[in-house]
C-alpha cells in the first residue's frame, strides 16, 4: 500500500472522490487533510477538499482552502466562482465582489464571471455598473434563461427593483422558447421545476411591489408548471385566495404523493393548509396543520437553546453603562444624515411602524437589510460578544469607527434615486432588521445620534403569530412553542436592559396594541421622539407605494385593523406549552 509521500496528488484526488461517493466522509477528510499537509499546492485537491469541508459545516475551513486553491499554480476559474459563491452565502458581499474582480482581471472573457460580478455589483449598490455589465453579457448569450433570471433576481433584490418585472418576463420568454426548440446550448432548456422557480421569484417581486393580482397569476402559472413545487402553495395561501380546488389538490398531494415530497415540501404544504383553513375560519383544523408544519421544520434545523439563551443573557456584561458611555463615537451635531433602527421580535408590528415613518418626507425605509449584522461579523468576528477577547475589540475606537463608516457607506450607496431629493439624502434612514436588538449596544456606541425604536407586541400574540408563519431561515427557535416562549423571555430581559441603560432621547418602546388603538396619538409620539414636524401623511401609511419585503407586505397596504389582537384565544388548549414557557396563565 502506497504511503502519502509516494502518492501523486492526482491519485489522492481520485481515491478521495471514490471514498466520498461511497459515503466514507471521515476517511475522505483524513486522506485529503493528511496529503495536503505535505503538498498544499495542488489546486484540484484543495478545491475538492473545500467542498468536503463545506458539507461538514466547516465554512471557515472551506473558505480558507478555496483561497489556497485560487493561489495554487494554474488556478481554474471555477475556484474563484466557488469562493465567491460561498462568500455570498455567508453575506460577505464586498469580499465576494473583490474575488470576482480578481477573476475578471485574470479572464475578462468568461461570461459566468462577468454575470456573477454584475449581480454582486447591483446588490452592493453599484447599480449602474452592474446593469451595464449585465447588458454586455446578455448581448453575447441572449438565449441563456439562467442568466436572465440572475439578472432579474439581482435587480429585484436591489434598491431599484422596478425593472425586475420586465427582466423576469424576458427570462420566462427565453425559457419557454428553449423548451419549444429543445435547446441544449448555451444552457439546456429549463425543467418544469426550474420554470416554477423563476415564476416564484417574479411572484415574490410583485408581492413586494404591492401587485397582488400579478403575484397570484405568477404563482398559479408556477403551479401549472409543477404542482409539486410546494412553496408556491404557501405563497398562494398568504394572498387569501385559496379555493376549494386548491384545498383538494394540496390535501391529495399530502395523502397520496408523499414519495415525491421532501420534508421541506411537506412543511410548506402544511403551512399552506394551516393558513388557508385559518383564513376560512376553520381554526382547529388549521392548528393541526401548523403543528405538523413546525414538526417538519424542526426535523430540518439544529437549535441549541442553552447556547442561544446563554448568549442573550450575557450580552449586558459586555455593554455596561460605562463601556457604552466611554466607548461611544463622537458625531457632529450638524450631521443631518442619521439612522433609525427598529428592533424587536418578528411579527411585532414593525412593518407598520416603518410604513408610518416612511410616509414622512424626512425618513426613508430601507427594510430588513443585513448590512449591520454582516459588518459586525466582519469587524468583530463570529459569536460577538461572547468571548473574553471581545471586550478588547469593543474598546477599540478605530475598529468601531471603521464599522460605523462602513455601515454609512454601504447603506448610502444602496439608496435608490427617489430617496435623494435636490442632491440631499433623507434626514433619517430607517433600518428594520429586527434581529439587531442583540446589537443595540453597538448601535448606540457607533451611532450615538441615532434613534432606536423597540417594536413590542403582546407576548402571546407575538408567539402565536410566529408559530403560524413560515420563516425560511435565521429563526430556528420559531418552530416549537416552548422554544418561542423561552426565547421571548430572554429577548424581553435584554430589551429591558437596553431601555434602562440607554438615554431616553435615543431609545423608545412602541407597543403594537397602542398603535392600533390610537394611531394618531402613537404616531405623533413617535414623530416627536424623532424631533420632526408632524405630517398627516403618516396616518395614510397604507397609500405608500414603496416596496415591502416582509411577511407583512400585504397587511401594511391596508388601513389599521384590530383583528390580529388576541388571535390565540380560541386555541388555549393547543398553546399550553407556550403558556407554561412564558409563565402566563390566560385570563
| Model pLDDT for residues 378-432, shown as the tens digit of each residue | 899 889 999 999 999 999 999 999 999 999 998 988 888 888 888 788 899 999 9
User: Within a domain: residue 474?
Assistant: yes
How far is 215 from 207, CA to CA, in rounded Å?
Answer: 6
Nearest by Cα to 60 from 300, 382, 307: 382
| Model pLDDT for residues 75-87, shown as the tens digit of each residue | 999 999 999 999 9
* CB-CB neighbours of 49 under 10 Å: 27
97, 120 in Cβ contact below 8 A? yes
Distance of CA 358 to the CA centre of its chain: 21
Cell of 310: 446563554
User: Within a domain: residue 475?
Assistant: yes
pTM, two decimals, is 0.86
The pLDDT assigned to 559 comes to 62
297, 288 in Cβ contact below 8 A? no
Q: What angle do CA 11, 16, 19 make, to 5 degrees?
A: 130
Domain count, the chain: 1
How far is 515 from 503, CA to CA, in rounded Å?
Answer: 23
How far is 209 from 203, CA to CA, in rounded Å?
Answer: 10
User: Within a domain: residue 369?
Assistant: yes
Residue 444's CATH number: 3.40.50.300
User: Within a domain: residue 139?
Assistant: no
User: Within a domain: residue 412?
Assistant: yes
Burial class (CB in 10 A: 0-12, 13-18, 19+), 128: exposed
Domain of 380 in residue numbering reads as 334-582
Q: What are phi and psi of 451, to 5 degrees?
A: -115, 135
Nearest by Cα to 216 from 246, 192, 244: 246
User: Within a domain: residue 160?
Assistant: no
* CB-CB neighbours of 531 under 10 Å: 10
**Interior/surface letters 218-253, b for 16+ CB within 10 angstroms, e for the rest:** bbbbbbebbbbbbbbbbbbbbbebbeeebeeebeeb
Burial class (CB in 10 A: 0-12, 13-18, 19+), 74: exposed
* CB-CB neighbours of 57 under 10 Å: 9
Per-residue pLDDT of the chain (587 residues; tens, 9 = 90+): 445 557 899 999 999 999 999 999 999 999 999 999 999 999 999 999 999 999 998 888 999 999 999 999 999 999 999 999 999 988 788 899 999 999 999 999 999 999 999 999 999 989 999 999 999 999 999 999 999 999 999 999 998 898 999 999 999 999 999 999 999 988 999 999 999 999 999 999 999 888 999 999 999 999 999 999 999 999 999 999 999 999 999 999 999 877 889 999 999 999 999 999 999 999 999 999 999 999 999 999 999 999 999 999 999 999 999 999 999 998 765 555 799 999 999 999 999 999 999 999 999 999 999 999 989 988 998 899 999 999 999 999 999 999 999 999 989 888 888 888 887 888 999 999 999 999 999 999 999 999 999 999 999 999 999 999 988 766 899 999 999 999 999 999 999 999 999 999 999 999 999 999 999 999 999 999 999 999 999 998 777 655 554 544 555 445 666 777 889 999 999 999 999 999 999 87
Nearest by Cα to 338 from 228, 276, 425, 399: 425
User: Within a domain: residue 137?
Assistant: no
The pLDDT assigned to 557 comes to 46
User: Within a domain: residue 512?
Assistant: yes
Amino acid at each position: 500500500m502506497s504511503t502519502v509521500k509516494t502518492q501523486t496528488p492526482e491519485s489522492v484526488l481520485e481515491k478521495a472522490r471514490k471514498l466520498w461517493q461511497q459515503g466514507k466522509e471521515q476517511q475522505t477528510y483524513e486522506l485529503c487533510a493528511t496529503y495536503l499537509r505535505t503538498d498544499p499546492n495542488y489546486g484540484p485537491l484543495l478545491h475538492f477538499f473545500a467542498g468536503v469541508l463545506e458539507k461538514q459545516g466547516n465554512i471557515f475551513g472551506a473558505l480558507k482552502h478555496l483561497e489556497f486553491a485560487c493561489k495554487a499554480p494554474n488556478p481554474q476559474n471555477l475556484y474563484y466562482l466557488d469562493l465567491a459563491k460561498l462568500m455570498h452565502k455567508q453575506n460577505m458581499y464586498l469580499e465576494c465582489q473583490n474575488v470576482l474582480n480578481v477573476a475578471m482581471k485574470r479572464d475578462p472573457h468568461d461570461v459566468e464571471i462577468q454575470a456573477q460580478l454584475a449581480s454582486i455589483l447591483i446588490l452592493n449598490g453599484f447599480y449602474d455598473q452592474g446593469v451595464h455589465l449585465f447588458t454586455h453579457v446578455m448581448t453575447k448569450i441572449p438565449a441563456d434563461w439562467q442568466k436572465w433570471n440572475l439578472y432579474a433576481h439581482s435587480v429585484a433584490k436591489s434598491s431599484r427593483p422596478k425593472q425586475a418585472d420586465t427582466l423576469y418576463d424576458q427570462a420566462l420568454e427565453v425559457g419557454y422558447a428553449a423548451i419549444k426548440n429543445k435547446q441544449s446550448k448555451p444552457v439546456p432548456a429549463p425543467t418544469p421545476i426550474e420554470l416554477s422557480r423563476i415564476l416564484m421569484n417574479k411572484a415574490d417581486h410583485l408581492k413586494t411591489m404591492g401587485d397582488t393580482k400579478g403575484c397570484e397569476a405568477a404563482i398559479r402559472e408556477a403551479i401549472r408548471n409543477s404542482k409539486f413545487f410546494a412553496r408556491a402553495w404557501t405563497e398562494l395561501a398568504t394572498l387569501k385566495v385559496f379555493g376549494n380546488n386548491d384545498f383538494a389538490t394540496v390535501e391529495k398531494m399530502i395523502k397520496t404523493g408523499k414519495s415525491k415530497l421532501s420534508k421541506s415540501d411537506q412543511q410548506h404544504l402544511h403551512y399552506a393548509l394551516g393558513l388557508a383553513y385559518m383564513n376560512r375560519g376553520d381554526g382547529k383544523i388549521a392548528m393541526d396543520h401548523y403543528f405538523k408544519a413546525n414538526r417538519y421544520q424542526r426535523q430540518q434545523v439544529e437549535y441549541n437553546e442553552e447556547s442561544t439563551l446563554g448568549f442573550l443573557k450575557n450580552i449586558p456584561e459586555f455593554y455596561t453603562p460605562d463601556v457604552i458611555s466611554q466607548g461611544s463615537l463622537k458625531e457632529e451635531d450638524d450631521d443631518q444624515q442619521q439612522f433609525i433602527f427598529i428592533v424587536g421580535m418578528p411579527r411585532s408590528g414593525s412593518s407598520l411602524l416603518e410604513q408610518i415613518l416612511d410616509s414622512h418626507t424626512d425618513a426613508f425605509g430601507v427594510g430588513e437589510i443585513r448590512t449591520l449584522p454582516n459588518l459586525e461579523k466582519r469587524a468583530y468576528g463570529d459569536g460577538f460578544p461572547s468571548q473574553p477577547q471581545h471586550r478588547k475589540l469593543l474598546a477599540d475606537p478605530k475598529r468601531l469607527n471603521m464599522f460605523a463608516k462602513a455601515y454609512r457607506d454601504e447603506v448610502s450607496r444602496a439608496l435608490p434615486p427617489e430617496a435623494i431629493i435636490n442632491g440631499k439624502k433623507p434626514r433619517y434612514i430607517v433600518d428594520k432588521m429586527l434581529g439587531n436588538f442583540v446589537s443595540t449596544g453597538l448601535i448606540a456606541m457607533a451611532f450615538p445620534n441615532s434613534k432606536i425604536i423597540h417594536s413590542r407586541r403582546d407576548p402571546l400574540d407575538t408567539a402565536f403569530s410566529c408559530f403560524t408563519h413560515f420563516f425560511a431561515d435565521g429563526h430556528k427557535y420559531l418552530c416549537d412553542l416552548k422554544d418561542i416562549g423561552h426565547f421571548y423571555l430572554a429577548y424581553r430581559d435584554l430589551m429591558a436592559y437596553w431601555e434602562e441603560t440607554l438615554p431616553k432621547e435615543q431609545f423608545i418602546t412602541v407597543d403594537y396594541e397602542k398603535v392600533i388603538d390610537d394611531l394618531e396619538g402613537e404616531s405623533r409620539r413617535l414623530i416627536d421622539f424623532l424631533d420632526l414636524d408632524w405630517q398627516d401623511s403618516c396616518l395614510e401609511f397604507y397609500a405608500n407605494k414603496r416596496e415591502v419585503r416582509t411577511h407583512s407586505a400585504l397587511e401594511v397596504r391596508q388601513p389599521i385593523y384590530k383583528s390580529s389582537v388576541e388571535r390565540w384565544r380560541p386555541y388555549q388548549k393547543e398553546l399550553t406549552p407556550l403558556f407554561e414557557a412564558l409563565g402566563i396563565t390566560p385570563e
